[in-house]
Each structure stands twice: as structure tokens, then as C-alpha cells.
Amino acid sequence: MQMESLKKQRNSLFSFAGTAVLAVVLLLFSDLGAKPFILKSVDGSWLPMIAQSWVAKNGGVLVKVADGIKPNELRKEMLSKIPDLSIEILKSSNDLYFPTTNIDGLFEVLKNIDIDVSGITAKQQNNYDNSDMFVKKSAENTVPKDEYTEAVVENVVFDEKSEKIVLTVKIQQRAKSGMFPRLYGIYRIEHVYKMKNDIVDPADSKNMVFLPLITAKKGSKITFIPEKLDSRILTITPDFKIK
């Protein structure tokens, strides 16, 4: 049942306005310079990032990349990280073709690389003003490193009834300062998503900021700043990173 719930949530998260969601996630995801080509979710399925969609074809894998990505520059960037990778660009569609491989085998390799998107994206105007303002405000309010807590993820579930994601984490390194410097043991990080028509509302900037939580899995490391503590349930600020 838990696996089916996670699959349903993953599909809900990425079924709406695919390109719009991708653009915001790329903006928000972890380090502002490097973005993942593909992500693996908690249920083992692949989540679109720079790779927007894919299909097995003629003994290889055909990948459509996100709008605004320059395929030639992306290919150069990927080859600089994995020189033995074979990549072709289809002139008719600018899609990438990886011959003599399969989807899982290819993505298991590509999930481990981050792409410097600053040099491979075409300049384009977007309509994500609310999210952009939210991120800029967060970036301007620089938090001292000593206020961050580090933990490892023990479990991830999505509570469909309450529409929230719950990460069970074990503290590995306490914060040295801030409001919660003495956390230890097991805690739950919870975040409630604002829903619209049974899917996560992409118009809500806070939804987009916390969207990367869905990519966490057992063994992932999360660095965060606690905002509120109720018993052993934590609410965290948007200044978190998952790896």
C-alpha cells in the first residue's frame, strides 16, 4: 500500500504543467549552479528534471530534454563528466539518443551527475514571479552554517489523507547555534502541500520550494534549519538540501 501511495503521489506531482514544474524545480533545487539530469524517487521510479521524457527505441534510449536547454551544450557538458558516454542529437527534434543501452542502466549512471545549467540554457522570460521572489528572499537572508542540522533519512511516506509528506530522520550532527541546537535521535520532518484538483498546486510558491522533499529516500542526507518543534515533529525552513 505504501509503495502504491508513493507512486500515486509521484504521478500527481509531475502530472501538472510538466515544463512549468521543471523550470521551477531547476531554479530551486539545492545548489543554484548544478542541476540533476534525472532523479530517482523513493519507489525506484525516475523523475523528470533536465530529462523531460524518455522512451526505449531501436536498442537505445531517446530522451527529450526540457525547454530552454541547448542540446549541443548539454552533450558537451555530459561528455566532460562521462567521456565514454555515447550521445547523438536528432536534428529533427533536438532530442538526445543514447544507443546500445536501456533506460534503467542509462539513468543509474546519469543520476550521479549534476549539470551546470548556467551555460546550457537559452535566455527566456518566464511567469514564475512568485516563486522567484520567494527564492531570492530566502537567498538574501543568509543563515550561519552553525544553525544547520544534519540528518540521515530513515523512511519516507506520503499521507494522502492529510496531504503531507513525512520524513523520518536520525540526527547525525547537531546545530551549534540557533533555536534548536540540542536535537538528537529520531524526528519526523513534515510538510503539508497545498492541493488543487487533487494535485499539488504549482501556483503556490511554497509548494515549489518544498517539492524536492519528494526525492528523498532511505539513506539520503538532509541538511536543514528547524523552524518549529512539536514533540518530535519538525517543521523546517526552505533552506534545506538533500543529497
Q: What is the pLDDT of residues 110-144, one digit of tens each?
A: 987 888 777 666 544 343 344 343 344 444 455 67
Mean pLDDT of the chain: 77
Write out the residue limits of the CATH 3.90.76.10 domain(s) in the chain: 32-122
Could you please state the CATH topology (level 3) that the domain comprising 32-122 is classified under.
Dipeptide-binding Protein; domain 1 (3.90.76)
pTM, two decimals, is: 0.52
Query: In one letter, which amino acid is 186?
Result: I
67 close to 109: Cβ distance less than 8 angstroms? no
Q: Write a three-state SS string for 131-194.
A: HHHHHHHHHHCCCCHHHCEEEEEEEEEEECCCCEEEEEEEEEECCCCCCCCCCCCEEEEEEECC
Q: What is the pLDDT of residues 23-75, one digit of tens each?
A: 444 444 444 456 788 877 656 778 778 888 999 999 999 999 988 888 999 99
Q: Which ranges in the chain are annotated with CATH 2.40.50.140?
A: 145-242
Lowest mean pLDDT among 89-103, 177-191, 203-217: 203-217
- pLDDT band, residue 159 (cuts 50/70/90): confident
Per CATH, the architecture of 145-242 is what? Answer: Beta Barrel (2.40)
Taken in order 34, 149, 156, 108, the sign of the CA dihedral is positive
